[in-house]
Structure 1
Amino acid sequence: MTRQTAKTTKRSLGVIDTIQTQGGATLEELTDELEMSRSTVHLHLRTLLDEGYLTKEGAVYHIGLRFLNHGEYARSRKTAYTLAKQTVTELSNEIDEEVEFVVENDNRGILVYESFHPDSHFPSKERHISTAPSSAGIYYYLHCVATGKAILAALPDDRVEAILDDWGLPRQTTQTITDRNALLEELEQVRERGVAFADEEYVDGLREVGRCVRGPDGRVLGAVAIIGPKYRFTDDRYTTELPAILAEYVDDLEATIEDSYLEEFR
């Protein structure tokens, strides 16, 4: 059964997404891009502008800073996310590599926190997919990054199938897994190992090691990944050393999250 949705809201969200995708757009450009009349597009723009969700520079509309308020609230609302930020920073400082915390949202992975170590000279994944100065809020397909595989491996089979039905297996590099059965087999290996690997599957030359983060009730909260260039992620460092360090940090994070839950309900 198809769920009922508010068409006006969906249209406003479409306007917002188009403006962000195009890096700003005029009324005429939006009218050409969207299947709406000029007057309807203008009504949505005026409403969003009046409410602070858009800003206008000359004839060009841009995303407004009011979204920053909502975004910061969303990622700080849960104590577990704040604790994950500390883990990301501390882990990155210890190993001098990029570390990410990713949460599943809309059947994809959304980057909540990232620590890109200043001594690392390999460009962040963000530079390959966005010109934004911050990576937070970037979406990843779950099948091609280590955090995504770690999350998928921790979800029930029917949920995994629903995610794959929703987004498919888009190819990002020549190493991306695009066969469903092959991915399901790898997810079984992730369950056995406790960590996920992504070897140049999202960006050429980039390797990742990821581990799922669970709450005290076993629910999937997200995943943490260590990310770096293939020339530094070699042999035992990639397959053994970094996974062991990551497991230690995630275990500590889960214990801290559990303590915070117990403290909250005392």
Structure 2
Amino acid sequence: MAKQTAKTTKRSLAVINTIQKLGGATLDELTGELEIARSTIHLHLQTLLEEGYLTKEGAVYHIGLRFLNHGEYARSRKKAYTLAKQTVTELSDRIDEEVEFVVENDNRGILVHESFHPDSHFPSKERHISTAPSSAGIYYYLHSVATGKAILAELPDERVEAVLDDRGLPRQTAHTITDQDDFIRELEQIRDRGVAFADEEYVDGLREVGRRVTGPDGSVLGAIAIIGPKYRFTDERYTTELPEILIEYVDDLETEISDSYLDDYR
């Protein structure tokens, strides 16, 4: 049976997403982009404007700061996410590289926390994902990043198939795995070794090492990855040293998460 959805809500979301995609938009621009009547778009704009979800500068509508309140609430709602933020910062400080915590959302990976070390910035990746100081909230295709692979490796086969059917395996670089059979074999290897590698699969010249983060019940909460340029992620540092450090930090994080859950029931 087909899922029932609210058409009005979907239209409001389409307006919001289009405004963000365009970096701000006028009513005329939205009318040209969306298959929605101009009068209907205007009604959605006025409602969102009155509620603080949009702001207007001249004739141009922009995303409003009220979304910031919801976003901060969402990423601090779970104690595990707050603990992950601390781990991301401490790990980045230790290894002088970029570290990210990513969670699965809508069959993609969403960046929840990141820590940029002064020596870790990789310009190609920053230009690819955002021009903002923080990239929190951006989405990744799960198959092309180490965090995404680490998460998928923890999911049941039918769930993995659903994700791949929904999002596919789009090519990000010449190194991205785009064959489903090859990708399934990659997930099997990740399960065996406990870490995921993404070798220039999201951005040319960028390497990643990722490991899943699980809760006390064994469910996957997200994943943490160490990310940096290929010229620094060489030989044993990439294949052995960084994975060992990452496993150490994630194991400690999972212990903290388990302890916090126990504290809630004492």
Bucket of the pairwise TM-score, normalised by the shorter protein: over 0.9
Secondary structure of the equivalent of 1:216?
coil
Q: Deviations over 1:214-260 (max 9, x none)?
A: 00000100000000000000000000000000000000000000000
Paired letter, 2:232:
R
**Gap runs ≥5 in structure 2:** none
Q: Which residue of 2 aligns with 1:8?
A: 8
Cα deviation, 1:77-99, whole Å, max 9, x if unaligned, reads 00000000000000000000000
Q: How far apart in 1 are the matches of 2:223 and 2:63?
A: 29
Alignment root-mean-square deviation, CA: 0.8
Aligned partner of 2:245 in structure 1 is 245
Q: Is the Cα–Cα contact under 8 Å of residues 98 and 114 in structure 1 kept in the other structure?
A: yes
- Segments of 5+ residues of structure 1 without an aligned counterpart are none
Whether the 8 Å CA contact 2:214–2:221 is kept in 1: the answer is: yes
Aligned mates of 1:132, 1:249 — CA distance in 2: 28
Report the 3-state secondary structure (helix = DSSP H, G, I; strand = E; otherwise coil) of the residue aligned with 1:125.
helix
Q: For residue 36 of structure 2, what is the amino acid of its counterpart?
A: M
TM-score by length of 2: 0.99
* Structure 1 residue ranges, 4+ long, deviating more than 4 angstroms after superposition: none
Tell which deviates more after alignment, 13-22 or 125-134: 125-134
Q: Does structure 2 conserve the Cα–Cα contact (< 8 Å) formed by 1:126 and 1:138?
A: no
Say whether 1:81 aligns with 2:81. Answer: yes
Q: Structure 1 residue 76: deviation in Å?
A: 0.3
Distance of 1:227 and 1:146 partners within structure 2:
9
Q: Does 1:216 align with 2:216?
A: yes
Who is 2:257 aligned against?
A: 257
Deviations 1:94-126 (A, max 9, x none): 000000000000000000000010133422734
Residue 25 (str. 1) matches residue 25 (str. 2):
yes
What TM-score, normalized to structure 1? 0.99
1:174 aligns to 2:174 (yes or no) = yes
- Residue in 1 aligned with 2:113? 113
Q: Is the 8 A contact 2:124 2:203 kept in 1?
A: no
Q: 1:101 maps to what in 2?
A: 101
Q: Which residue of 2 aligns with 1:90?
A: 90
- Structure 1 Cα separation of the partners of residues 117 and 69 of structure 2: 26
Q: Which amino acid aligns with 2:127?
A: R
- What is the CA–CA distance in structure 2 between the aligned matches of 1:59 and 1:214, rounded to whole Å? 47
Query: Cα offset for 1:127?
Result: 2.4
Contact 2:55 2:61 in 1 (8 A): yes
Q: Secondary structure of 2:212's match?
A: strand
